[in-house]
Structure 1
Amino acid sequence: MSYKITRKEEARPYEAPGHFKVLPTHLHIPPEVNEGRMVMGLSHFLPGGGCEFGAPPLETIYYVLSGEMTVKTEDGEFVLHEGDSLHSGIGTGKSILNTGVETCKLLVCLLPSADAAPPDQK
């Protein structure tokens, strides 16, 4: 199949290593389209929820749909608010933490390098 439509009720929850107080869901995964490599998901981080510091082998884009998310990198930290996005390269170290008082809805796009295996798709 060369395209796939995912309706909001079809989002599939999964376990995300290193994440806590979050409901991550897959919207799109590589096997669903011809030669696909991109993963797109929607994660709901409760206040105090986040992801431990790591440097994944993935190009990453975070887009904040609602709430806020504090991002820590090797260079410091900053807060992403509704409508903000972050694009980080392969192997870029970072952690994220919802330091706000409401659930943060975060749209997540992941792309491995061309020679890497796609991210876990459970």
Structure 2
Amino acid sequence: MHVTRFDSAPAYEAPNHFDMRCLRLQGKDAGPSTQMWMGMSQILPGGHTTLDGSPIEKLYLVLEGRLTVVSELDGRQDEQELGPYDSCRYAPGEKRQLVNRTNRPVLVALVMANAPPPA
């Protein structure tokens, strides 16, 4: 078993993330994990990510607040608002964007696979 205490979870910077504070809870620099890692982000009012794709599947779980999630796949765009305990999955290659359009912070958990090692 590997425990990461919230108070000592390492912060990380993610590209194309604005007005967000990201912490690693498990995996990568937060401890051993062979298949996946888990993070948590606080998204300030107006905070967002850009609409980008990734080859890795991603799972998001809203813990606090209201989060707008945008997706684009095969030229079709979808937008949904998630509240506490709502979750969403982004498929590999699906473009995704997270936006806090409220005046309150949003707390969201992320789980995704470790990137495969370079060939």
Normalization by structure 2: what TM-score?
Answer: 0.86
Equivalent residue, structure 2, for 1:27: 25
CA distances 1:9-33 after superposition (whole Å, capped 9, x unpaired): 1211111101000000011114733
Task: Calculate the aligned-residue CA RMSD, in Å.
Answer: 1.8
Structure 2: any 5+ residue segments left out of the alignment?
Answer: none
Q: Give the % identical residues.
A: 30
Size of the alignment, in residue pairs?
Answer: 113
- For structure 1, the residue ranges without an aligned partner over 5 or more in a row are none
Cα deviation code 1:74-120 (max 9, x no counterpart) = 2321111111000122111111101111100001111146xx239xx
Aligned to 1:86: 88
Corresponding position of 2:117: 117
Q: 1:15 aligns with which of 9, 13, 20?
A: 13
Residues 1:57 and 2:55 aligned together: yes
Which consecutive aligned stretches of 4+ in structure 1 deviate over 4 angstroms post-superposition? none
Q: Give the structure-1-normalised TM-score.
A: 0.84
**Stretch moving more, 58-67 or 70-79:** 70-79
Aligned partner of residue 49 in structure 1, secondary structure: strand
Letter of the structure 1 residue corresponding to residue 3 of structure 2:
I
